[in-house]
Amino acid sequence: MRYVIIGNSIAAAGCIEGIRRADPDGPVTVVGREPYHVYSRPLISYLLLGKTSRERMLYRPADFYEKNGAALLAGKSAVKLDPAAHTVALDNGAELPYDRLLVSTGSRAFVPPIKGLDTVGGYHTFITVDDALALDRAADKSANVLIIGAGLIGLKCAEGILHKVRHVTVVDMAKQVLPSVLDEGGAAVLQKHIEAQGVELHLGVSIDSFDGKTMLTADGRRLPFDVLVVAAGVRPNVELVKDAGGAVNRGIVTDNCGRTSLPDVYAAGDCAESYDISLGGSRILALLPNAYMQGECAGDRMAGGDLTFDRAIPLNATSLWGLHMTTAGTYAGTDVLTTRGGTYKRLFYEDDLLKGFIIIGNVERTGIYTALIRNRTPLSTIDFELICEKPQLMAFSKAERARQLGGVQ
Amino acid sequence: MKRIYVNEQWCLGCHLCEYNCAFANSGAKDMARALMNVRINPRIRIEENNGICFAVACRHCTEPLCVKGCISGALSIRDGLICIDTDRCVSCYTCVLSCPYGAIMPSDGGPMQKCELCTKNALGVPACVTGCPNKAIVFEER
């Protein structure tokens, strides 16, 4: 069996390891747009902070491809997929035949069409290591940096460069920071913390236009800057599958084995949708753990294994300037809010199930909450008061504890 | 693979496992000197409530969510043992959010720490097991 993987990030690494669960020998070819060994993209802000290095941010050891019998074609892109012929055409004219194909093409920065953007003289995005290095070169001690987007990418970018530059301003159309991750109350806690670091936030603001290195907002503010970063979201790279006639909604449609609607073509990671059990519907879960697990499952299936990926939920662990946050699931149903000891904690439950949570501050052991969502544990089978107090195995029955701590999962 | 298992009915709640863990991983030679006036940060933790108590440490899962979710690749499986490369850990806490047992936590120095079955310290066998006075924690193949 010949395997081809398009994309060389986390889902691809998961796929290689998944393939090797079931097939120790079949040749694997990985096509990666960036000329690098697989590295962790979420670490680019840590690279700017000096908390990691180019070497340490490699996601797998240097001998990863060799040890797994995989050939990396780095710096190459796939341009066309022919599902009938089972071939992929590359940008250098080569054609790769495959028996099983994984599309893990990820996503790209979305740059909204803003009037006058062409007068700025260039802008940055913050997705790849090259993006981070380019920003690092442009952002010196005297630079005023303006970031469009107070989502995870924009705020992690702000954290990464704040110490290197004169001033950082973040603008977002949403009325709160991390609009896709936090509720209003949690966002207020985080906002206060961010502003205490000296970052200037303009929230609930629409951008009207750019006039050279000045941003004009719809409500009349003029925000001058030296360096502009666009972190206004991402768009999934679905074209390869879409152009070949495969089913695509917002992301590439996959089943719980990672299969697309095209024969022998699988998809995983930020370009693909998965079934979110906390929501009860499919969506793109552009999160690293999801990319790995979806890729691993697809790889295992491509090689004839029987893994399934049927417990996906949104998961975010984030820290910003030392403040830790963990969130998971869907914020629906009844909620319990506590703010004990400086920790903001909101649990959401519905139909006897924990659906989601937002915790800012003391996040210790929150994986116990995540497991309740993932495993759809009926809340009636645990001590609800104890579990609301803090994440603890004490909330489970004695028999369940004996199973969890006395066996192998 | 041999793993740590907990027999809840035998746990006395004496917390010796926590002290033995902290000592074993301190690198010090003398327990009293290593732990005196120190707020210990062990990798095994006792939960107790209303007369019930039991120890919790890494289960070394065969499908470890912490490893699969680790954003830096710092967590890995070596011969069944879940290991952490503290050089590569950036303290993002994704593993804390992923572990169903709450068995991974920040070290005093910053990176995450977890039970590695005393394979990286001088003991080579789990100190919590050796020091448990009532065999409430055992190290065996199941």
Whole-number percent of chain A with pLDDT over 90: 98
Residue of A nearest to B104 (CA): A365
Among candidates A56, A364, A367 on the partner chain, residue whose Cβ is nearest the Cβ of B100: A367
Among candidates A59, A296, A401 on the partner chain, residue whose Cβ is nearest the Cβ of B73: A59
CB contact under 8 A, A366 and B96: yes
CB contact under 8 A, B47 and A393: yes
Could you tell me if B48 and B80 lie in one domain?
no
Given a cut of 90, whether residue A407 has pLDDT beyond it is no
> Is the complex ipTM higher than 0.90?
yes
Among candidates B3, B5, B93 on the partner chain, residue whose Cβ is nearest the Cβ of A363: B93
Q: How many angstroms separate the CA of residue B113 from the nearest CA in chain A?
A: 12
Helix (H) or strand (E) run with residue A138 in it: helix A129-138
Number of A/B CB contacts below 8 angstroms equals 135
| Mean of per-residue pLDDT scores for chain A | 97
Q: How many angstroms separate the CA of residue B49 from the nearest CA in chain A?
A: 7
For A54-97, write each residue's pLDDT tens digit: 999 999 999 999 999 999 999 999 999 999 999 999 999 999 99
CA–CA gap between residue A333 and residue A325 (Å, rounded): 21
Question: Which residues from chain B sit within 8 angstroms of residue A382, using beta carbons?
Answer: none
Mean pLDDT of A140-160: 98
List the structure tokens of B111: 């990176």
Residue of B nearest to A399 (CA): B8
CA–CA gap between residue A231 and residue A252 (Å, rounded): 23
CATH number for the segment(s) A322-406 = 3.30.390.30
Q: How many angstroms separate the CA of residue A241 from the nearest CA in chain B?
A: 26
pTM: 0.96
Output the CA–CA distances (angstroms, integers) from residue A27 to A4, A92, A223, in the order listed.
8, 21, 54
List the structure tokens of A300: 């295992």
Could you tell me if B40 and B109 lie in one domain?
no
Q: How many angstroms separate the CA of residue A115 from the nearest CA in chain B?
A: 37
Confidence of residue B123 (pLDDT cuts 50, 70, 90): confident
Class of domain A3-107+235-302: alpha beta
Number of separate domains in chain B: 2
Could you tell me if B73 and B23 lie in one domain?
no
Beta carbons within 8 Å of A264's beta carbon, 6+ residues apart: A83, A86, A98, A99, A100, A101
CATH number at residue B22: 3.30.70.20
For A372-390, write each residue's pLDDT tens digit: 999 999 999 999 999 999 9
Question: Which residues from chain B sit within 8 angstroms of residue A360, using beta carbons?
Answer: none
Confidence of residue B142 (pLDDT cuts 50, 70, 90): confident
Contact A337, A359 (CB under 8 A): no
Q: What are the residue boundaries of the structural domains of chain A, listed by start?
A: 3-107+235-302, 117-232, 322-406
CA–CA gap between residue B140 and residue B117 (Å, rounded): 12
Could you tell me if B34 and B72 lie in one domain?
no
- Interface list for chain B against chain A, based on CB atoms closer than 8 Å: 3, 5-8, 47-49, 52, 54, 56, 59-63, 65-66, 68-69, 71-73, 87-88, 90-102, 104-105, 142
Q: Which of A67, A11, A60 is nearest to A36 (CA)?
A: A60
For B5-24, write each residue's pLDDT tens digit: 999 999 999 999 999 999 99
Given a cut of 70, whether residue A409 has pLDDT beyond it is no
A117-232, CATH topology level: FAD/NAD(P)-binding domain (3.50.50)
Q: Which 8-state DSSP code applies to residue B101? A: T
Given a cut of 90, whether residue B121 has pLDDT beyond it is no
**What pLDDT is recorded for position A22?**
97
A3-107+235-302 and A322-406 share one CATH topology?
no
Output the CA–CA distances (angstroms, integers) from residue B132 to A116, A268, B34, in the order listed.
70, 46, 19
Confidence of residue A303 (pLDDT cuts 50, 70, 90): very high
DSSP output for A48-110: HHTSS-TTTTBSS-TTHHHHTTEEEEET--EEEEETTTTEEEETTS-EEE-SEEEE---EEE-
For the purposes of burial, counting CB atoms within 10 Å of the CB of A94, is it exposed (0-12), middle (13-18) or buried (19 or more)?
Answer: exposed
* Number of neighbours of residue A184 by Cβ within 10 angstroms: 9
Task: Name the residue range of residue B65's domain.
Answer: 60-114
Q: How many angstroms separate the CA of residue B95 from the nearest CA in chain A?
A: 8
For A233-276, write each residue's pLDDT tens digit: 999 999 999 999 999 999 999 999 999 999 999 999 999 999 99
Amino acid at A345: K
Given a cut of 80, whether residue A139 has pLDDT beyond it is yes
**What pLDDT is recorded for position B27?**
87
